[in-house]
């Protein structure tokens, strides 16, 4: 799989990235560690050598599983992890990074990201200058190779850039969730900042597997996703029906079509999770779907039917 430069850094990532939120188990159901390890190994074997995780995914459990799965091929992979909003004071960033290094069984992290801006999820307000100071020190010490942000607005990204080099931003972005295109994407194009899109399949919606009446097991966070609510679900179903003939034209699944479309967008790479080896193999094959520009535009137009009535709230979930 051909790699792409991460911002202006000397790091090269795969356009499809293995996402491991589900590997942490918390807020997901039916996840088994043994299957997660097989899936992560399969990702690397399929050419997906960039792995994204976070300290908050299962309170370090995801990082530990990633570290266990790939400790023997550490030199062949790129690790991206994140420090959560409640650990953005200087000393807390340092401690969190050391914990992540231990969990991942490594002595360096390729991309270390601020998961959410300070103040998110009832966290303390911490000046971005303080957080960036810690990150810059970690970078100087060689414990991290580059700095990224996640869930930042354009304004927050610009402020962070005043205090150091930011190579990437990680927002929710898919064919059915397009807020990033309004002002973050143009800014990233101007500054050559990579976009690492999460929820690339709209939390599974773009696989087409949910049918007309989506249901979730107790503990599955997706029941709170705004796209699954009745006001949007009819639009989702209409769009999926219109996408199906295009997928058939390229002899690919809806998921592969959606990933192929996403990695054709400016600056954009797709983080895609997987529960098992077969899902990983399917995701990796999206790189082989060579869309014409005409079909890229056609797919975009279909997606707008779902997104045009969404508000500007970047948070995908309505948690109580």
Structural domains of the chain sorted by starting position, each given as residue range(s) with its CATH number in brackets: 4-204+254-291 (3.20.20.100)
* pLDDT of res. 244: 97
Token representation of residue 147: 């700095």
298 has pLDDT over 90: yes
270 has pLDDT over 70: yes
Sequence-separated contacts (24+) of 91-100 with Cβ below 8 Å: 91/134, 93/131, 93/134, 93/135, 93/138, 94/134, 94/137, 94/138, 96/55, 97/138, 97/143, 97/144, 98/143, 99/55, 99/60, 100/55, 100/60, 100/63
Mean pLDDT calculated for residue range 61-79: 97
Whether residue 105 contacts residue 68, with contact meaning beta carbons closer than 8 Å, is answered with yes
Beta bridge partners of 198: 172
SS3 80: strand
What's the pTM? 0.94
CB burial class (10 A; 0-12, 13-18, 19+) of residue 311? exposed
Mean pLDDT calculated for residue range 211-231: 74
Q: How confident is the model at residue 76 (pLDDT cuts 50, 70, 90)?
A: very high
Mean pLDDT calculated for residue range 8-34: 91
* pLDDT of res. 319: 53
70 has pLDDT over 90: yes
169 has pLDDT over 70: yes
Q: How confident is the model at residue 313 (pLDDT cuts 50, 70, 90)?
A: confident
226-262 pLDDT tens trace: 788 777 888 999 999 999 999 999 999 999 999 999 9
Mean pLDDT calculated for residue range 54-67: 96
| Lowest-pLDDT choice from 28-42, 94-108, 185-199, 243-257 | 28-42
157 has pLDDT over 70: yes
Point out the residues that are catalytic: 57
Mean pLDDT calculated for residue range 7-15: 98
* pLDDT of res. 295: 98
């Amino acid at each position: 799989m051909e790699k792409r430069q991460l911002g202006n850094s000397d790091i090269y990532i795969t356009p499809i990235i293995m996402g491991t939120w589900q590997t942490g188990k918390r807020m997901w159901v039916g996840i088994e560690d043994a299957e997660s390890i097989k899936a992560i190994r399969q990702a690397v074997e399929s050419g997906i050598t960039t792995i994204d995780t976070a300290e908050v995914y299962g309170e370090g459990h995801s990082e530990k599983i990633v570290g266990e799965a790939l400790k023997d091929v550490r030199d062949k992979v790129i690790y991206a992890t994140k420090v959560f909003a409640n650990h953005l004071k200087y000393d807390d960033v340092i401690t969190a990074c050391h914990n992540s290094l231990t969990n991942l069984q490594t002595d360096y992290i390729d991309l270390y990201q601020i998961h959410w801006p300070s103040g998110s999820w009832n966290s303390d307000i911490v000046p971005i200058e303080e957080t960036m100071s810690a990150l810059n020190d970690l970078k100087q010490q060689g414990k991290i190779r580059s700095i990224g942000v996640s869930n930042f607005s354009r304004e927050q990204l610009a402020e962070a850039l005043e205090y150091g080099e930011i190579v990437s931003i990680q927002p929710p972005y898919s064919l059915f969730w397009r807020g990033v295109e309004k002002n973050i994407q143009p800014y990233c194009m101007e500054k050559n900042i990579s976009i690492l899109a999460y929820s690339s399949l709209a939390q599974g919606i773009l696989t087409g597997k949910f049918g007309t009446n989506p249901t979730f097991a107790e503990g599955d966070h997706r029941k709170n996703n705004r796209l699954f609510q009745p006001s949007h679900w009819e639009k989702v179903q209409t769009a999926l029906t219109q996408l199906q003939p295009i997928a058939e034209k390229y002899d690919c699944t809806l998921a592969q079509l959606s990933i192929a479309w996403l990695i054709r967008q400016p600056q954009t790479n797709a983080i895609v999770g997987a529960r098992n080896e077969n899902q990983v193999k399917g995701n990796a094959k999206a790189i082989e779907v060579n869309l014409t520009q005409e079909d890229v535009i056609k797919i975009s137009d279909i997606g707008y039917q779902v997104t045009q009535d969404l508000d500007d709230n970047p948070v995908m979930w309505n948690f109580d």
